[in-house]
Amino acid sequence: MSLWKLLTAQYNDAGATARLRIDAATNTLQVIEYEHHEIHAESHYFWEDTTVLANAATWDIAFRTANTTEWTHIILNVVSSLGSTVEVYEGDTITWDGTAETSFNNDRNSSNTSNWQEFETDPTIVTPGTLLAKATLGTSTNPNQGLPGAASRSREIICKQNENYRVRVTSNNNSNDVTVSLQWYEHTNKN
């Protein structure tokens, strides 16, 4: 198919039709990443918080995904002013008795909310699940040249439905400022 036919063809996706368009000012084809599309579709969420941890203190952030095929696609970022260890677990047995947390829709005009069944900080962990990832951040003398320790997973994890997940940050120093950021969208596969 020629480029012209491709640009002028009608596309049908679940009953909607649209044309591919070229930007008049730059003569470029305008596209956005799928994750960005999910923001416009009002199904992209975020949560971020900061705490100060003492040496050997832990901070657990836990959530339970919905028991539907609208799966969570999540990205995690952790920043620590001093040394920390970050662990990600799947399948913990959890007593949901921590502090309830609220996530926010990235489209602030939307009233849609996340489909997570539970979302808490510092619930009781009865039995740890499978350790999916572990990273060590910074040192006791960090920030070196003003840069804190950081861990980021730039590729999303597609979480199992109806499953418990937990991020644990363990401080290796006193007076350690820690920030955890979760960003996710909820999507049902087309096929």
**How many domains does one find in the chain?**
1
Residue 129, in any domain of the structure:
yes
Residue 4, in any domain of the structure:
no
Which residues constitute the domain of residue 180? Answer: 34-188
In tens, the pLDDT along 51-101 reads 999 999 999 999 999 999 999 999 999 999 888 999 999 999 999 999 999
CB 183 within 8 A of CB 64: no
Residue 52, in any domain of the structure:
yes
Residue 28, in any domain of the structure:
no
Residue 16, in any domain of the structure:
no
What proportion of the chain, given as a percentage, has pLDDT over 70? 78
Residue 97, in any domain of the structure:
yes
Alpha-carbon dihedral angle through residues 35, 36, 40, 44, given to the nearest 10 degrees: 40
Q: Confidence class of residue 132 from pLDDT cuts 50, 70 and 90? A: very high
Residue 25, in any domain of the structure:
no
Length of the chain, in residues: 191
Q: Vertex 98, ends 177 and 153: CA angle to 5°?
A: 50
Write the CATH number for 119: 2.60.120
- Helix (H) / strand (E) element for 92: namely none
* Cα(172)–Cα(61) distance, integer angstroms: 18
Residue 163, in any domain of the structure:
yes
In tens, the pLDDT along 154-187 reads 678 999 999 999 999 999 999 999 999 999 999 8
